[in-house]
Amino acid sequence: MATIHSINLIASDPDVRGGRLCIAGTGVRVSDVAMVMLFHTDSPGEIAAWFGLPLAQIRAALAYYYEHKAEIDADIREQITKAEEYKEKRVGSQSAAFALDAL
């Protein structure tokens, strides 16, 4: 009989990032890792360097993402929608326009 071993590298804590799934011991959300991979097309090694984390943690986050893709993709869509709403609210503000130009 096979023994299944789990890797406990993904956690949720209501006091960290609103309880969203993160790499254990960090504030890096699984969705953050997935977004870097999807939108920047970075390799797992590049993502690990980007966040300053071990490759094993990034691979665990990506494995979790693929195992729960529909749920995390919905979370990513929600984050993008909220970001667009915040951006729209700042339209017309000179200070906001200046801040965006500085990026």
- In tens, the pLDDT along 3-23 reads 877 778 999 999 999 889 999
**pTM, rounded to two decimals:** 0.77
Domains of the chain: 10-102 (1.10.10.10)
pLDDT per position as a tens digit, 22-55: 999 999 999 999 999 998 988 999 999 999 999 9
Task: Assign 63 to helix, strand or coil.
Answer: helix
pLDDT of residue 91 exceeding 60, the answer is no
In this structure, the number of other CB atoms found within 10 A of the CB of residue 62 comes to 16
Say how many C-beta atoms besides its own lie within 10 A of residue 98's C-beta.
9
> Cβ–Cβ contacts within 10 Å for residue 65, how many?
22
